[in-house]
Amino acid sequence: MLTAFANAFRTPDLRKKLLFVLGIIVIFRAGSQIPAPGVNVTAVQSCLGDDANSTGVYSLINLFSGGSLLQLTIFALGIMPYITASIILQLLVVVIPRLEALKKEGQSGQTKITQYTRYLTLGLAILQATGIVALARSGNLLQNCPNVLHSDSLSTFIVMVVTMTAGTAVIMWLGELITERGVGNGMSILIFTQVVATFPGQLWAVGKTKGWWTFAIVIVIGMVIIAAVIFIEQAQRRIPVQYARRMVGRKMFGGSSTYIPLKVNQAGIIPVIFASSLLYLPAMAVQFNQGNADAPGYINWINAHFVKGDHPYYMAAYFALIIFFTYFYVSITFNPQEVADNMKKYGGFIPGIRAGKPTEDYLSYVLSRITLPGALYLGLISLIPLVALVLIEANQNFPFGGTSILIMVGVALDTVKQIESQLQQRNYEGFLR
């Protein structure tokens, strides 16, 4: 990895792209530290000194915002509205025929879907900003901190909502600039930046509160987890495909051999986001009913079993939801029938398997078998912060595990692969010299 980066900086055009990405990251992190208008910075900083605030309902959004959500900065929403909009559009493509037709149109259709994603992102940003500012205004966003805003007037409320929504639009623009002029996927790099930004603070908190022997043990365990994540993320089942030769006019086409790569973790990080978001709903119900004497009895039960995240009921529900959403997301992103039909259309076949329905059944069988270890892997990795919460009383943003480690390893591997591919294009040496 380090060799790839060193060689990239020796190549002039790649060096410009990498420096451009670093410049965007600096701007992004600077915006994540600028408070929104109307925020009482002194009160917010004093409230964030309490460790109890690090395990609130919005811990996932706070993770994706690099900790700027609870600081109420102009980039407080981070990249989360765009992630949610992208996932919703991906699901709607399967449900709505019009969107499915757009997807099949190629680049022009994908451009329209991207435009719809931007509009939906802004709509979700307005909703999320309204909810967060309303919680801050009422004093329920941070525990025991009712005065995080200088004023609770309507004008301050509107200005903060508009500022955070505009911040989300700027983040989208920065991500697209990286994709067009830099290296790698812009949105993924911005998510990676926000997650890595919280990493040193989490490690320092473990060493300061639990002792440096515990810190050393956490580092060793972290290295083992990173190695395991890299191994699983790179693992794939390659299904061989043979294309028969066919005559088109006077030319012979086909006769090549290739394979269909089925990754063990075919769903990526999406099931973890789905499961976390669903489990935040009961926790949000509890937060909105704080101090309500007339709250139903089940609110107290949810508060005891699902809010802190250290109860076996919560862990079991979290694990089961990740398994379910892994199978669900894989089923809508990989269609064995469509793959089998395309193979038959172009004269391809799996050796030993007849084309058509037998190929579809075989792909479905292999996919279901390979999805199980991938789902178990996602569930176990995601439970690591919750287990750490019980064993060493760490917060839910425990550095080595869960969403953060999956994002860091996945984005780092993808970016290094893209850098290496561009280096090969520029420095290719054939057998003729």
Q: Are 116 and 264 in contact (CB under 8 A)?
A: no
Q: What is the pLDDT of residue 351?
A: 86
Going by pLDDT thresholds of 50, 70 and 90, the confidence category of residue 219 is confident
CA 420 to chain centre: 23
How far apart are alpha carbons 43 and 35 in whole angstroms? Answer: 12
The confidence score (pLDDT) of residue 430 equals 42
- Range 161-176 average pLDDT: 92
Kindly indicate the confidence band of residue 433, based on its pLDDT and cuts at 50, 70 and 90. Answer: very low
Note the pLDDT of residue 289: 62
Per-residue pLDDT for 229 more than 90? no
Number of Cβ within a 10 Å radius of residue 119: 10
pLDDT > 90: percent of the chain: 15
HSE, side-chain direction, 13 A CA sphere, residue 242? 8
Would you say 243 and 224 are in contact if contact means Cβ atoms under 8 Å apart? no
Residue 79 in contact with residue 183, Cβ under 8 Å?
A: no
What does the pLDDT look like over 304-343, one tens digit per residue?
666 666 678 888 888 899 999 899 888 888 888 888 888 8
Output DSSP code: residue 267: T
Q: What is the CA radius of gyration of the chain?
A: 24
Place of tokens 């509107």: 158
> Is residue 382 scored above 90 in pLDDT?
no
CA distance 86 to 88: 5
Cβ atoms of 228 and 245 closer than 8 Å? no
Q: SS3 for 236?
A: strand
On the question of pLDDT at 122 being above 90, the answer is: yes
Give me the pLDDT at residue 123, please: 93
At 429, the pLDDT band (50, 70, 90 cuts) reads very low
Query: Each residue of 247-283: pLDDT tens digit?
Result: 666 666 656 788 888 888 888 888 887 887 777 777 7
Top pLDDT among 241 and 5 is at: 241
Query: Contact, 285 vs 296, CB < 8 A?
Result: no
According to the per-residue pLDDT averaged within each range, which of 104-108, 237-241, 419-423 is highest?
Answer: 237-241
Cα 395 to Cα 51, 202, 205, 400: the distances in Å are 8, 9, 10, 12
CA angle 295, 296, 302 (to 5 degrees): 100
Residue type, 356: G
- Dihedral (C-alpha) 114, 61, 75, 51: value to the nearest 10 degrees? -170
Contact between 79 and 171 (Cβ < 8 Å): yes
Amino acid at 227: A
pLDDT in tens, 136-146: 887 767 666 76
Residues 291-304 have a mean pLDDT of: 64
The whole-number average pLDDT for the span 6-24 is: 85
What's the pTM? 0.78
Residues 284/134, Cβ–Cβ less than 8 Å = no
CA distances from 110 to 79, 89, 115, 124, 233 (A): 20, 11, 9, 21, 27
Contact 57, 218 (CB under 8 A): no
Any idea where the domains of the chain sit in the sequence?
Answer: 32-182
User: Comparing 67-76, 176-185, 219-228, 382-391, which segment has the lowest mean pLDDT?
Assistant: 382-391
Q: How far apart are CA 225 and CA 430, in angstroms?
A: 39
Task: For residue range 45-56, list pLDDT tens digits in order.
Answer: 777 665 444 444
pLDDT of residue 47: 73
